[in-house]
A and B are shown apart, each in its own frame.
Chain A
Amino acid sequence: MGKIGLLPVKDNRPIQTLRELFVRWLESGRVSALLVPAVSPAGIAAPVLWSDPEKASQIYPLLPVMGINSAGVVAEIAADKAEGSRLGVVLRPCELRAVVELIKLQQIARDNLVLIGVDCAGTYKPTTLVNELKSDAGELENWITGFLTAQDRYLKDERLRRACQLCEFPVPLVYDVALGFLGVNPKEQLLIQSASELGDMLLSEVNISPVAAVPAERQVYLDHFIQNRQEQAVRMIADFDRTALGPEKLVRYFAHCINCHNCMKVCPVCYCRECFFDSEVLKRDLDGYIRVSRRKGLNRMPADTLLFHLTRMNHMMTSCVQCGICEDSCPAGIGLSVMFRKVSREAQAAFEYLSGRSLEEPLPLTTFREDEFRQIGED
């Protein structure tokens, strides 16, 4: 179990090569359909559920655009075990990590999925690229290929989503099949790896040149890439600390929250059917609100916005994958991505946990040991 190979790229077209790879799996029946990034003839970038090989020209695997975290879509369409259908999901590392968390939260049935992970060097918001996503298919494919081969340019591009600028997970962690372009010269070849029997089977259907290990130059490039991103994370978190730490600054940081709950709705791992904050629990009647107003003199409306954010952090930080889609959805422009990156990684570190790293690692709040954290609760 676990093969590594190089997939030859024809005519300097990695995107077309991946389309052909996926068509092969669709035609062999290994997957019934694929959830994969696409761009419509009208220039609309979005994930699609793709089953017809004839439509391959609209499929753009490795498209560096992220409007949603597709793990949420997977949870919506593949929550329950299905007979006979197998869904291939082509996902970025952060999306795969969210899928892993959702499988552990019993929101996705693993049995129906083929996890196809792809390298990610960073993504743009769809709105950032509104003029670049040309409807001309050839131009678009060239643009993406240019991005994939840009090497260090995406380490400095300030138009990338902020969550991507400090992301140190360019490669998938849990997958059946992983497809890599970083550090392998994607105009000539792509790296293909399997990590399960199912993945081995998928690889055996494709003409690849097997290699013994991940090419050394890829590892060297990934180390360089990750180190750059980590240094960027230190800088961005230091900026965050200066503007947000402590009660006064934190209240100001969240001051313009309009209580829309978008951050919760788009969050892939925020999985409750009904959020506590959408329930009636915290609502008062008019007498109640006036009683609070009299106690405080005046009461900010809508109420409980800071309570919402702090509670959401307590509920979700152990599964947060730092995808930053919450920030993109915030109409008030609150800098959630850097905050969540900092808070979630520190919270997860307290339990030696990393979200999405493994299907076997139990969720921190579903397990315990008798002989841990002994100082908590003692004098």
Chain B
Amino acid sequence: MSFEPKIVGFLCNWCTYAGADLAGTSRLQYPPNMRPIRVMCSGAVDSVYILRALLEGADGVFIGGCHPGDCHYVSGNYKTRRRMVLFNSIMRALGLDEGRVLLRWISAAEGKKFADTVTEMTERLRQLGPSPFRKLWEV
């Protein structure tokens, strides 16, 4: 059987989760590889959740939030953005930056963008192969 990546998705309640809903009600087709988790704000996604998903066997982590300026809580997504800069620089410094973590701004009106993003990410992870931490589980 060919490799099917598992993606854990953290979707902001006000934008990306509604965008995912719109993709569904619009009957858009996209790969079923993402397990969505609804969070109240992308700014609530601490790095520990991203890391735990990766270390426990997820092949990728997706975070979806409102476009800059559109945050329901005014500035949560700006903080998400800074935290991603920090996360990326740490992963890069440790040689772990494989592009398995993706942040995208997707509004409630962008069902198509949500479906396209999941499709693209799934395809990219298929190329990349399973997360190296899966086979390092035993250590």
Contacts and interface: CB of A to CB of B under 8 A. Distances in A.
Nearest to B47: A314
Interface in A333-372: 339, 342-343, 346-347, 349-351, 364-365, 368-370, 372
B136 interface: yes
B101 to A, nearest CB: 11
B23 to A, nearest CB: 17
B126 to A, nearest CB: 19
A306 interface: yes
Nearest to B42: A377
B79 to A, nearest CB: 6
A166 B41 CA distance: 41
B-side interface size class: 35 or more
A313 interface: yes
A289 interface: no
Contact of A314 (B78, B87, B105, B132): B87
Given A377-B81, A377-B84, A307 B93 contact: no
Contacts of B80: 377
B29 interface: no
Interface string B63-98: 001001100000101111111111101101111100
A245 interface: yes
Contacts of A369: 78
B104 interface: yes
Contact of A246 (B46, B89, B96, B137): B96
Contact of B92 (A244, A306, A346): A346
Contact of A342 (B48, B93, B136): B93
Contact of B86 (A297, A314, A372): A314
A345 to B, nearest CB: 9
B51 A314 contact: yes
Interface stretch (A51-59, A90-98, A116-124, A249-257): A249-257
B85 A373 contact: yes
A276 interface: yes
Contacts of A317: 86, 90
Contact of A245 (B65, B94, B103): B94
A310 to B, nearest CB: 5
A-side interface size class: 35 or more
A246 B104 CA distance: 25
Interface in B95-137: 95-96, 103-105, 132-133, 136-137
A346 B48 contact: no
B82 A299 contact: no
A298 interface: yes
Nearest to B75: A368
A235 interface: no
A248 B86 contact: no
B83 A346 contact: no
A250 B81 contact: no
A296 B57 CA distance: 9
Secondary structure at the A interface, as helix, strand, loop or mixed, is helix
A351 B81 contact: no
Task: Find the residue from A249, A346, A376, A379 having the highest chain B CB count within 10 A.
Answer: A376
Given A311-B47, A370-B78, A347 B93 contact: yes
Contacts of B96: 246-247, 250
A224 interface: no
Given A247-B96, A300-B138, A343-B94, A376 B48 contact: no
A364 B86 contact: yes
Given A343-B90, A377-B65, A251 B139 contact: yes
Contacts of B68: 370, 374, 377
Contacts of B51: 307, 310-311, 314
Interface of A: 241, 244-252, 255, 276, 282, 295-300, 304, 306-307, 310-311, 313-315, 317-318, 339, 342-343, 346-347, 349-351, 364-365, 368-370, 372-374, 376-379
14 contacts: A241-B95, A245-B95, A248-B136, A250-B96, A298-B138, A299-B137, A304-B52, A304-B55, A343-B90, A365-B79, A374-B68, A377-B65, A377-B104, A378-B104
Given A314-B83, A370-B78, 12 more contacts: A251-B139, A296-B138, A297-B138, A307-B55, A314-B51, A346-B89, A347-B86, A351-B85, A364-B82, A373-B81, A376-B85, A377-B84
Interface of B: 46-48, 51-52, 55, 57, 65, 68-69, 75, 77-87, 89-90, 92-96, 103-105, 132-133, 136-139
